[in-house]
Amino acid sequence: MRSSRAAALALVGALALSACTVGTQNVDTTSAEGEVRGTITFQTWSLRAAYRGYFEKLIDKFEKKYPGTHVKWVDQPAEGYADKISADAAGGTLPDVVNVSPDLAAPLAKAHLALDLDSAAPQYRDEYLPAAWKSTKIPGMKGTYAFPWYLNTGPLFYNKRLFDKAGLDPDDPPRTYDELFDAALTMAERSGGKIATLANVPTIEDFGRYGVRVMNSSGTAFTFDEPKGVELLKRYRKLYRAGALDSQAFTSTPEQAGRKFMQQSVAMNPGSALDLDKFKKDAPSLYEHIGITDAPNNTGHPNMYVQGLMVNAAGDNKATSVAFAHFVTNAENQMAFAHETTVFPSTKGALDGDFFTEQDGTDKTRVRVASAKSLEKAVNYTPVLLSDDMKTVLQNAVTRALRGDESPEKALRRAAEECNRLLQLG
């Protein structure tokens, strides 16, 4: 399942054009009155192959509950998903109910193509976790633009043997960034620089978890270059120079970082229940020493990844679309989907049930319980207005600063200026 997928910047421009070409400026984005009947189209994001049976049964159940309705289900591949939405929006062929992440919902909302649920369906708001409902609020706009669907958060694995060998408490992993940096420097020093604690450079989520204000409240400017953001990079640069951050972290893929963790040359790495199965089979000496914790944060709030269902405000059958989007994301159906997958429901109270709190001795449950606990206080740190191009700009700045090619102050200032330039283009 996906944790996060960013939209291409081209989507913003295309949707701005679509607002003119298909006349969406005059679309009513605040109401969805009418009878629940007729045909709608429902689009998911790379889910058919693994969950076809689940969705076919779900649609059949909806059509029986609302006689006279028909749901056409289409599933798009992960590759080019943002481009597909862009083309449909520009051509006036956007499906009635669309699976979106918050960053995909933002340009659709700005183009008057996303229904404002705070106005059109406020009666459902209290069914969902507040942080999940707020995930598609767009800075500078009033409203919420997608039903929260499934959530995820990445557990952080750590090697207890390596912690113990370095004189660190294997049962008390770092929970704040101060603790993380102290532990990482200790690990590097006591291993003679042979063991790095981290294999990944900081991303926008790290800035958020560190306590950096990444964007102003009005959504008009990125602010990750403020002193606290500079401080984060200075501390990561210290890790890199000490060997506490893997020397190949700038170019390493998640798969490569995972291999280093399995080889036990890196002490901590994010993952999932699927990784535990892999450790058990391919790296048994690591598996017996695996610890599970949350990614460190200074805010008291782990990171939350959100997928949602947006209703096309320009669709011909908004009443049925709202009814279906709510049906898919109600407590009963979200729980059923959670049993099929490794994701978590966004409805209130769902994470308190035995399925997410009781251990049964299996690896899958071990990770599920740990992740569900962290979601209780999780928030989405990635601004909905941060495009894929902007993420690349920030990544390049981080690399320059950590390598010493540029000071952290200059690198972040230039990155913020470029991201703000791109923001204005949208």
Q: What is the pLDDT of residues 29-49, one digit of tens each?
A: 999 999 999 999 999 999 999
For the ranges 18-32, 47-61, 225-239, the lowest mean pLDDT is seen at 18-32
pLDDT at 17 over 60: no
More confident residue, 58 or 361: 58
Give a yes or no: residue 1 inside a domain: no
More confident residue, 208 or 362: 208
Domain count, the chain: 2
Q: Are residues 344 and 403 in the same domain?
A: no
pLDDT at 214 over 70: yes
Q: Give the mean model confidence (pLDDT) for residues 68-74.
A: 98
pLDDT at 359 over 60: yes
Q: Are residues 24 and 64 in the same domain?
A: yes
- 216 in helix, strand or coil? coil
Q: Are residues 182 and 148 in the same domain?
A: no
Q: Are residues 183 and 269 in the same domain?
A: yes
Q: Are residues 285 and 418 in the same domain?
A: yes
Give a yes or no: residue 4 inside a domain: no
Q: Give the mean model confidence (pLDDT) for residues 395-420.
A: 98
Give a yes or no: residue 140 inside a domain: yes
Give the per-residue pLDDT at 24.
63
pLDDT tier for residue 273 given thresholds of 50, 70 and 90: confident
Q: Are residues 140 and 163 in the same domain?
A: no
Q: Are residues 174 and 135 in the same domain?
A: no
Q: Where are the beta strands (DSSP E) in 134-267?
A: 147-152, 156-159
Cβ(273)–Cβ(371) below 8 Å: no
pLDDT tier for residue 18 given thresholds of 50, 70 and 90: very low
Q: Give the mean model confidence (pLDDT) for residues 86-105.
A: 95
Q: Are residues 387 and 420 in the same domain?
A: yes
Give a yes or no: residue 2 inside a domain: no
pLDDT per position as a tens digit, 373-386: 989 889 999 999 99
Can you give the residue range of the structural domain that contains 405? 156-301+383-425
pTM of the shown model: 0.85
For the ranges 8-12, 396-400, 416-420, the lowest mean pLDDT is seen at 8-12
DSSP letters, 4-29, are: --PPPTHHHHHHHHHHHHTTGGG---
Q: Give the mean model confidence (pLDDT) for residues 292-317.
A: 95
Consecutive H or E run containing 58: helix 48-65
Q: Are residues 87 and 112 in the same domain?
A: yes
pLDDT per position as a tens digit, 327-344: 999 999 999 999 999 899
Return d(Cα 277, Cα 272) in angstroms, integer.
Answer: 9
Q: Are residues 251 and 221 in the same domain?
A: yes
More confident residue, 123 or 362: 123
Give a yes or no: residue 237 inside a domain: yes
Give a yes or no: residue 5 inside a domain: no
Of the candidates 328, 365, 303, 325, the one whose C-alpha atom is nearest the C-alpha of residue 152 is: 303
Domain of 171, CATH number, reads 3.40.190.10
Q: Are residues 183 and 123 in the same domain?
A: no
Q: Are residues 274 and 415 in the same domain?
A: yes
